[in-house]
Amino acid sequence: MLKRTGVILVVFAALVFAAGTAQSQIPKDTIVHGANTDIFITLDPGICFEVLPSAIVKNIYAKLVEVKLEDGKFVVVPDLAEKWEMADDGKTWTFYLRDGLVFDNGDPVTAQDVVFSLTRVVKLQKSPAWLFTDVLGLTEESVTAIDDKTVQIVTNGAPPNIVLTNLGGSNGGILNQKVVMANEKEGDMGEVWLTDHSAGAGPYVLKEWKRNMMILLTANPNYWGGEPALKTVIFRDVPEAADQFLLLKKGEIDVAHNLTAEQANELKSATDVRVVTTPGQSDEYVGMNAGWGPFQDNRVRQAVKYAIDYDAIIEKVRAGFAINNQQFLPVGYFAYVEDNPFTQDLEKAKALMAEAGYADGFEVELVTNTTEIRKNEAIIVQENLAKIGIKATVNIMQASQMYAKFRQQGINLIVAGWGVDYPDAAALADPFANHRVNQLAWRLAWLDDHAADLAEAANKELDEEKRFQLYRELTQYWHENGPFAMMYQPVQYWGVRNELKGAEEAFEGYSVHCDFTRLSK
């Protein structure tokens, strides 16, 4: 019976891709996404690190804990573990699994499966591994089974939010060890097989993946949270935004993932389609090399911050799909408090330039990459800086070339962005303020030991109130002294058919959170 059902699903999926498929042909228990799937490499939770593939992985694999938004803030809630505790040493964690947990094939979920899954990430040493090894300090011996339902994890003493949010990421997905090892080849711990198969305990099962065509998920009837309302989830490969836009309007897809801002704004007046938004997990910034010429003077760096028209960039480049957030902490993160001290004030900027001895301005190369958004940002920044005497020549580079030069402290003025690796303040404080980790602050030669000390202290502090105050102190100091003018935090958006309910909750906090079980028709 299962085999026959699988055949029916595959045949149905094929029908969805036929030209002229109408919305009425898509059952109420099925959702069709339109997305560019070119970025998909693997759906193995120990390897997958790209945004949309990771969102799918989150719905195939359950974790010890889940990260979600509540009242606009990221929180950690139980998933496979119904409770947990941290020992007095601040390093040893104990997780207690729920009763009656099973994988999609009916096998019981045990503590041994948890040990295998988390240790496997460390052993594979693929893209997500550093979140366990470097951030949490995990080794192959760090995770042990106390009994079939109890797991112990020994960390490097990272604060609770760092530990839990990393375990709640897609790389924390728990695998059925028996199934994975039955498909092992040449000691790969199932890596080849898990590229396009699944062995999880999440709400969905990976049924089929036809590259550059479609990905088919089916509901897991054994999911501990109850079988999802939508029994079939299809990701249809639609690379072009214009095609997604037309298919959405015609009712041939339920969700469009890659619309332009202009297309999304056009949908706001539609009666059968709506636009769903959530704050994005990244920052867009102007970076100044604090070791180069005029930018060595903090008054010049402050002048740049007052020269930029932040509102114009948000409206002209992002068509309104961005948040005026001038700190490195995204909305919803621990220690985030709205704090935007800069607005365009050309007179103040000119006065700061004069105080620093640059009343007549100076020349500088402004580097960015080839994406349309970055080029448009650079043009506006160039126009803004010209008003205070800074003559910026825009140099468009391939991203690989630009970042290679940037990592060698070879760029004096840059327009770029930074994606967040896990939802904790430490994931931003280190790159933006701590030169010792050799990321953004170091690339801009901002070798400020006070900022680095604050970041390191906050990143290790176990007392949440003290940790909060350290980040607030760091943020204020960073505003006053740092080499960054933060332009905005992007807003993620989707075009969604009105008959699809729950999209606002399902995509809230994307890409940290994505929950297809919230969707229904």
Report whether pLDDT(507) > 70. Answer: yes
Q: What is the pLDDT of residue 17?
A: 53
Q: What is the pLDDT of residue 27?
A: 87
Give the tens place of pLDDT for each residue, 437-452. 999 999 999 999 999 9
Instruction: Find the angle CA(392)-CA(394)-CA(396) to the nearest 5 degrees.
Output: 160
| CA proximity to 433, closest of 414, 452, 406, 461 | 452
| CA proximity to 262, closest of 204, 319, 307, 205 | 319
Domains of the chain (ranges; CATH) run 2-258+498-518 (3.40.190.10), 282-491 (3.10.105.10)
The pLDDT mean for the chain works out to 95
Give the tens place of pLDDT for each residue, 245-278. 999 999 999 999 999 999 999 999 999 999 999 9
Among 5-14, 184-193, 249-258, 367-376, the range scoring the smallest mean pLDDT is 5-14
Can you tell me the distance from the alpha carbon of 70 to that of 46, in angstroms, rounded to the nearest whole number? 27
* pTM of the entire predicted model: 0.93
Q: What is the pLDDT of residue 10?
A: 52
Estimate the share of the chain in helix, then strand, then coil, as percent rounded to the nearest 5: 35, 25, 40
Can you tell me the distance from the alpha carbon of 5 to that of 11, in angstroms, rounded to the nearest whole number? 10
Dmax (CA) of the chain: 80
Percent of the chain with pLDDT over 70: 95
Residue with tokens 């962005």: 417
Q: What is the pLDDT of residue 9?
A: 52
Q: What is the pLDDT of residue 20?
A: 45
Q: Which residues of 453-476 are buried (b: 16+ CB within 10 A; e: fewer)?
A: ebbbebbbbeeeeebbebbbebbe
Position 1 confidence tier, pLDDT thresholds 50, 70, 90: very low
Report whether pLDDT(11) > 80. Answer: no
Q: Which tokens belong to 438? A: 């050799």
